[in-house]
């Protein structure tokens, strides 16, 4: 049987997220929402804190831009093709709600006494004022590549190298490659960097 806090969390997911995102075409799976566009995908993930419990729930919001070319080059270990429902950690560009609001890492707390309607209103504001306008700015391959040129992105160190190379922007890919080689990084990672360098002809 669910606790009062868990019931409130479910209501926040339903009223604060699903009701707005479903009409826009987002598909829901657990606490994730995914919109498949022509060439990229957009993901919203509501992440519970591992340190909470059934009576005291903390959560934050993660967003991701899914780039099929990047996933196929980096994650497609078994040659299975693109996932129908990718996850936020597999995304090329990842941002938390705190980033999008230009504030510190932001978490929301639910306890038995929490006014969930206040949190529902806050989630709607997060979507309409921050997340969806950001998604509008990154809703195509061209816009995604422009976003990549910005420095302050949360992604794997190899992300930019792979995507620039996949989209034939070899000058930018080579710059990323040389930057990674000059970093003091562990030998195993250095070997991986060199493998991608060879794959894309950046080592010449």
CA-closest candidate to residue 12, choices 132, 114, 135:
114
pLDDT of residue 151: 62
Between residues 91 and 182, the one the model is more confident about: 91
Burial 87-124 (b: 16+ CB within 10 A, else e): ebebbbbbbbbebbeeeeeebbebeeebebeebbeebe
In terms of C-beta density within 10 A (0-12 exposed, 13-18 middle, 19 or more buried), how is residue 48 classed? middle
Between residues 151 and 171, the one the model is more confident about: 171
pLDDT class of 64 with cuts at 50, 70, 90: very high
Quote the radius of gyration of the chain (alpha carbons, Å): 19
pLDDT class of 39 with cuts at 50, 70, 90: very high
In terms of C-beta density within 10 A (0-12 exposed, 13-18 middle, 19 or more buried), how is residue 195 classed? exposed
pTM of the predicted structure, to 2 decimals: 0.92
> How crowded is residue 126: how many other Cβ atoms within 10 Å of its Cβ?
20
pLDDT of residue 152: 65
pLDDT higher than 80, residue 33: yes
pLDDT digits (tens, 9 = 90+) for 111-156: 999 999 999 999 999 999 999 999 999 999 999 999 888 766 777 8
Q: Residue 28 phi/psi, 5° resolution?
A: -100, 135
Mean pLDDT of the chain: 93
């Amino acid at each position: 049987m669910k606790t009062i806090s868990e019931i409130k969390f479910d209501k926040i997911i339903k009223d604060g997220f699903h009701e707005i995102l479903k009409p826009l075409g987002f598909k829901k799976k657990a606490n994730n929402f995914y919109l498949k566009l022509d060439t990229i995908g957009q993901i919203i993930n509501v992440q519970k804190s591992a340190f909470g419990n059934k009576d005291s729930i903390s959560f934050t919001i993660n967003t991701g831009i899914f780039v099929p070319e990047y996933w196929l080059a980096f994650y497609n270990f078994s040659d299975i093709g693109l996932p129908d429902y990718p996850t936020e950690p597999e995304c090329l560009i990842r941002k938390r709600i705190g980033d999008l609001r230009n504030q510190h890492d932001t978490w929301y707390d639910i306890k038995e006494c929490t006014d969930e309607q206040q949190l529902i209103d806050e989630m709607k504001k997060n979507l309409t004022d921050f997340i969806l306008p950001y998604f509008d700015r990154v809703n195509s391959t061209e816009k995604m590549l422009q976003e990549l040129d910005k420095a302050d992105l949360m992604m794997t160190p190899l992300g930019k190298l792979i995507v620039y190379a996949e989209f034939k922007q070899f000058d930018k890919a080579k710059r990323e490659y040389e930057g990674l080689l000059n970093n003091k990084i562990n030998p195993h990672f250095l070997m991986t960097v060199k493998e991608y360098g060879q794959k894309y002809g950046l080592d010449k």
